[in-house]
Structure 1
Amino acid sequence: METTLGTIFLSELLGTATLILLGVGVVANTLLPKTKGHGTGWLLINWGWGLGVFAGVLVAFKSGAHLNPAVTIGILASGASEYVPGIPTNFAATAIYMVAQVLGAMIGAVLAWMTYKKHYDEDCDPSLKLGTFATAPEIRNPLWNTVSEIIGTFVLVFVVLSIAPAGEASGLAKVDLGWLGALGVGLLVLSIGASLGGPTGYAINPARDLGPRIVHQLLPIPGKRDSDWGYSWVPIVGPMIGGVIAGLVAPIVF
């Protein structure tokens, strides 16, 4: 039975909201003052995002659990979308995926803010408050920051496209993001963060950065800074390029 556009929308919305709630939440727990996890560091953030992806993929199984416009566009570029059962391959479905992912990211960010509301109200470096929502480079160089995002996203999408059921010769024979696939993708994101996330904070997902950045702009957070829109194109353009490259390379390799 073909998955309806409404099912795709709800599945991606809830899955992405789950991912971003847990992801923004772990960064808030680490960076904001007077939290139980204050100062616990980069690896806790990596684990939080990785397990957030794991949970989000489980929630969004009905839609194939893309949760990321770069994954959606990478699957389309690879031609593997025909192997995702029940998911139509057309402009409307692609648009539904991406809109749901951004809206879900916004919902997740709002829920994380509500969870840590009193900590956002505390005096704190405004850049740290922004950093709980959106990514920023440690050394600002738009070209090389984009390259970092391309490489990280390429690894994500390329490995996702390598997943195949036992006994299959082709990785593109099945994009399987079920229970074990979900755990694998979560550990993959953990690995990308630990190994490649240092330069930019590894958005590797346009919705992950754009949705929470919009929420930061809109929320009444005391003492907040601007939302750094001058950088915001990097975590959109870089991941989309990385996803397309991975989608084109994967059929050749697998």
Structure 2
Amino acid sequence: MSSSDIFISETIGTAVLLLMGGGVVAAVTFKRSKAFNAGWVAIAFGWGFAVLSGAYIAAKSGAHLNPAVTLGLAVKGGIEWSQVPVYFGGELLGGMIGASLMWIAYYGQFRAHLTDPEVLAAHRQNGHEGMVYERTAPKAGPVLGIFSTGPEIRNVAQNLATEIIATIVLVLAILNLGLSDDGKGVSWGGALIVALVVVGIGLSLGGPTGYAINPARDLGPRIVHALLPLPNKGGSDWGYAWIPVVGPLIGGALAGGIYQVAFA
């Protein structure tokens, strides 16, 4: 497969992942949404279905959709190291495109939310907006949680460890149960398994940090949040932004190493 095929496939698949994943968070967060206050279980299953949809769409390239998965496969030996930057580039661009499309789909809700005096007053008083998927980050704006993750308790060591542990679970499941016959990506049947694993991670390990487990899923939308002309959007919390990038990458690499030692 050519580099351009990989790049295009990963871009489109990751865009769908972020469109649907960010979309479920927006749906649960906004008062003017029919899914308002549906809760964390809806978010966890929404992200699982988002992974499933993106994986089927990006089947041609192996449906990595996640630099941590790409890195884990490279460490395992499933893909060539020269292909890693191509996957990374498509995943990051896809994350940005998906977040932008989500903003378009919920444009009216964003404007209503960010101009609601009650929302703005609560955000100014508490340092965070306090609705579903919003986090106690002093430099995070009132809708940043729709785009990116943030911790409930801001502790660098714990937050980093949580992302590493959760990503190891994800990538080990992919390497052991979800790979295609050529070992270069997720199989058709494996995509369903991976989606269910993502739901499980969200329900069991998502509470502390919002389970980024994917650098492109967090960094791409965070960049979009910083660039979009949203009124009263607040900060993008760049002080925290390295954790959902570095943590999953460490977790992906460790999972690849664990697989080589324990399962190969």
Q: Please give the TM-score of this superposition, normalised by the length of structure 1.
A: 0.90
| 1:117-164 alpha-carbon deviations (Å, 9 max, x no partner) | 011001234644110001000000111100000000000001100026
Mapped contact 1:137–1:200 kept (Cα < 8 A)? yes
Asked if the contact 1:161/1:175 (under 8 Å) is kept, the reply is no
The answer to whether the aligner puts 1:65 opposite 2:79 as a matched pair is: no
**Could you tell me which residue of structure 2 aligns to residue 188 of structure 1?**
197
Q: Secondary structure at the match of 2:6?
A: helix
CA distance in 2, matches of 1:176, 1:141: 34
CA RMSD of aligned residues (A): 1.6
Q: In the comparison of the two structures, how many residue pairs are matched?
A: 239
Counterpart AA for 2:175: L
> For residue 23 of structure 1, what is the amino acid of its counterpart?
G
- Equivalent residue number for residue 107 of structure 1: 97
Contact 2:178 2:191 in 1 (8 A): no
Q: CA shift at 1:174, angstroms?
A: 3.5
TM-superposed deviation, 1:252: 2.0
Q: Distance in 2 between matches of 1:151 and 1:159?
A: 13
Find out whether 1:120 has 2:136 as its counterpart: no
Distance of 1:146 and 1:174 partners within structure 2:
29
Q: Encode CA deviations 1:72-128: one digit per residue, 9 max, x unaligned.
A: 1111111232xxxxxxx142x211110110000000000000000011001234644
Counterpart selection for 2:210 from 194, 198, 201: 201
Residue 28 in 1 paired to residue 37 in 2? no
Q: Give the conservation status (yes or no) of the 8 Å contact 1:146–1:234.
A: yes
**Unaligned residue ranges in structure 2 (runs of 5+):** 124-128, 130-140
Report what 1:142 is aligned to.
156
Distance in structure 1 (CA, Å) of the matches to 2:78 and 2:92:
23
1:15 aligns with 13
Cα displacement (A) at 1:65: 0.6
Using the alignment, how far apart are the partners of 1:198 and 1:250 within structure 2? 27
Query: Following superposition, which runs of at least 4 residues in structure 1 exceed 4 angstroms of deviation?
Result: none
Q: Residue 247 of structure 2 aligns to a residue in which SS?
A: helix
Report the Cα distance in structure 1 between the residues aligned to 2:177 and 2:206, rounded to whole angstroms.
Answer: 23
Q: State the distance in 2 between where 1:23 and 1:158 align.
A: 22
Q: TM-score, normalised by structure 2?
A: 0.87
Equivalent in the alignment of 2:135? none
Shift of 1:177: 2.0
Contact 1:31/1:128 (<8 A) preserved: no
Q: 1:244 aligns with which of 220, 228, 253?
A: 253
SS in 2 for 1:224: coil
Residues 183-240 of structure 1 show CA distances to partners (whole Å, capped at 9, x for unaligned) of: 1111110000000000000000000000000000000111111000000000001000
| Cα distance in 2, alignment partners of residues 90 and 98 from structure 1 | 11
